[in-house]
Structure 1
Amino acid sequence: MPLPSEPLRKLGFLTIGLFDPEDPAKGHESTLQVLELGERLGFDSAWVRHRHLQHGISSPVAVLAAATQRTKRIALGTAVIPLGWENPLRLAEDLATVDVLSGGRLNPGVSAGRPMGFDRVKDALYPETADVEELGHERARRLLGFLRGEPASDFEGTEGIEQFSRRVQPHSPGLAGRLWYGAGSLGSARWAGENGVNLLTSSVVRAEESEDFAQVQASHIRAFRAAHPDGAAARVSQGLVVVPTDSADARQRERYERYAEARLPRTRAPQGPGRVLFAPDLVGTSEQIAERLHAHAGFREVEEVAFALPFTFEQEDYEQILSDIAGKLGPALGWSPAAVG
């Protein structure tokens, strides 16, 4: 088995948090239980997806606020919040509040650009200004500035009996340094590096310079680090769908394999006018998955991962997958679990 240059240093996971629209509380509770399980298993980070007008987490910041009160150690992240749906100033207040509640464990991941399905909701989001809203990197830069403490107001002082600040309150030192940018293109990866944030890579990229997913992902990581002030030490986290089957029963293994097979055709060539490339899901024993990862050009560039859980599995499946990732796959990649308090 080929070995990476460095052992895996940080292991995380990502969940979408699906729920039944007739009983959304149960689904949200299940998501919180998955995050708690991740902490018990020694994962370094737990991330939640962001889904608007779907039966998944629409408000990850609110869910993570709840998670701060049910966990003590694990880093909590969003992967990713599409900023086209957000006011950067208000989002900065929410993120800083949750970071304070967590004791400095929040890792907000964001993305810029025109959000998926924007034309269907733009009149509800921005009834007067949809056509002039800036949805690109400047929106992310504004958020970053507010998190760093740049002025949001031209007034600071006392008015009547109330005190006012120029910067977002609460201010959480260190939060800006834990901001991640979800980049799927070479230009976005360079922007993240130039602006000194961390880079989230996922199972989706644009086929700009190659049609080999792993090579494209590796090129993004190299371009990011070349542009980042920290160079080779700049943080990158890779996210792929990974499903170890070590402790799965026969029924689970068959379902996992069907799931991956149904999604495989989209990985064979770039999709749509945007030439989007999808990574194949990795299903098999931890030894098999580790071998594939050690040979993956993108994985060989990173020391951190946040493996994505499949969308539509059952709670018992997630428990089995997470247990195998922490107990089998992680160690096969050189990772050691965090101490469980």
Structure 2
Amino acid sequence: MKSFGFLSFGHYGRGTGPYDPDAGRALREAIEIAQGADEIGVNGAYFRVHHFARQAASPMPLLSAIAATTSRIEVGTGVIDMRYENPLYLAEEAGALDLIAEDRIALGVSRGSPEPAVRGYEAFGYTGSQDPRGSDIAREKFDTFLSAVRGERMVDADPSQFGPGQRLRIEPHSPGLADRIWWGSGTASTAEWAARAGVNLMSSTLVTEATGEAFADIQAHQIAAYRKAWKDAGHARTPRVSVSRSVFPVLSEEDLWFAAPMGDQAQDQIGIIDGLTSTFGKTYAGNPDQLIAELKADAAVQAADTLMLTIPSQLGPEINLRLLQNFAEHVAPALGWEPNTEGPTTGYDV
């Protein structure tokens, strides 16, 4: 494991008391958690993006605030729902954000998660999808977004200003950002598609496959398929691969109190989501030695270079930072991790 970060689902409530933050408090606490994680040496702060739900939605204001108040930690998403996005405007925002952050932005994008709204992206003005889940428009928009982020010329220039035959790219352009774009994948075929597209792989918190194998083994097969497709495509750089896990190190009675409710999630689960039979990964909770042994036996964690810990963000900064500190001090070093002291790494020799 080269790096680890946290993945926040950004849940919030109505502000009725402890562990029920309203939207404003949840956003401010996300900034505080990221600042504390930066001090610990955690490598990344990543945030889910949801619409029409009591969760974080438009990520750029939050990422900008974090980028401006931290110095080393990578800041990004997992994932932006491309069905809801204007791809060229998103490319402008991403370029500006990466320049502010001095090359610390890593954006995970995809078709998006199942949503509470029925074809909610149409309310944003994006119609014409022939797929009930909107996959077609998500892929089309992603192609445009990636071209723009790579600095390709997107529109014809006004010949009265630039002369004939000139084309313009999106500005501002951040030259290294294209290497820090990830596609969130839940299947082997989508992972292979991401490899051919030349983007990093963010393996989903669930996989839309149920083969009878363990969740981690299904993910490991997807990662192997991705890496083979990447090699076959002949890309020059080494890609990055991330997986996410819920991990609760228990070092005190208080830690045990928060980890105990996770007992009913100690096994993989099979369910139907978005009309597809899916496998959900289990939660890891226990003392450091137990967690080290279990994570070393997790085929996907071992195959990936980046581990994202899904955190219970609504419990606030103190609890979440203790969780990250416990993992950083007592678990991660045994998995090959060292604290981040210089800033994000843009690629790995794995």
| Fold match by TM threshold 0.5 | yes
Q: Secondary structure at the match of 1:292?
A: helix
Cα distance in 1, alignment partners of residues 204 and 292 from structure 2: 18
- Match among 9, 15, 20 for residue 16 of structure 1: 9
Cα distance in 1, alignment partners of residues 139 and 127 from structure 2: 22
Question: Any unmatched runs of 5+ in structure 1?
Answer: 1-7
Cα distance in 2, alignment partners of residues 113 and 335 from structure 1: 30
CA 1:193/1:122 → structure 2, altered by over 3 Å: closer, same or farther? closer
Q: Secondary structure at the match of 2:245?
A: coil
Deviation at 1:283, TM superposition (A): 0.8
Q: Secondary structure at the match of 1:327?
A: helix
CA 1:128/1:293 → structure 2, altered by over 3 Å: closer, same or farther? closer
Cα distance in 1, alignment partners of residues 340 and 152 from structure 2: 35
Question: Any unmatched runs of 5+ in structure 2?
Answer: 16-21, 344-350
Q: Which residue of structure 1 lines up, in the alignment, with residue 245 of structure 2?
A: 240
**Ranges of 4+ aligned residues in structure 1 off by more than 6 Å:** none
CA 1:131/1:268 → structure 2, altered by over 3 Å: closer, same or farther? closer
Deviation at 1:262, TM superposition (A): 4.1
Q: Which residue of structure 1 lines up, in the alignment, with residue 181 of structure 2?
A: 179
Cα distance in 1, alignment partners of residues 6 and 171 from structure 2: 30
CA 1:156/1:166 → structure 2, altered by over 3 Å: closer, same or farther? farther
Identity across aligned pairs (percent)? 29
Cα distance in 2, alignment partners of residues 92 and 231 from structure 1: 23
CA 1:197/1:340 → structure 2, altered by over 3 Å: closer, same or farther? closer
Cα deviation digits, residues 145-190 of structure 1 (max 9, x gap)? 1100122211166649xxx971110011010111011101111100
Query: What are the residue-to-residue correspondences of 1:1-341 with 2, within 5 Å?
Result: 8-21=1-14, 23-112=22-111, 116-117=115-116, 119-126=118-125, 129=128, 134-155=136-157, 159=161, 166-207=168-209, 209-228=211-230, 229-230=234-235, 233-246=238-251, 248=252, 250-258=253-261, 260-263=262-265, 267-272=268-273, 273-310=275-312, 312-339=314-341
Cα deviation digits, residues 273-296 of structure 1 (max 9, x gap)? 411100001111222111101111
Cα distance in 2, alignment partners of residues 205 and 232 from structure 1: 26
- Asked if 2 retains the 8 angstrom alpha-carbon contact of 1:21 and 1:55, the reply is no
Q: Secondary structure at the match of 2:49?
A: coil
Opposite residue 38 of structure 2, the aligned amino acid is E
The alignment's TM-score, normalised by the length of structure 2, stands at 0.85
Query: Size of the alignment, in residue pairs?
Result: 327
Deviation at 1:21, TM superposition (A): 4.3
- Asked if 1 retains the 8 angstrom alpha-carbon contact of 2:182 and 2:200, the reply is yes
Cα distance in 2, alignment partners of residues 239 and 18 from structure 1: 17
Cα distance in 1, alignment partners of residues 227 and 28 from structure 2: 38
Cα distance in 1, alignment partners of residues 91 and 145 from structure 2: 6
Deviation at 1:264, TM superposition (A): 5.0
- Asked if 2 retains the 8 angstrom alpha-carbon contact of 1:82 and 1:115, the reply is no
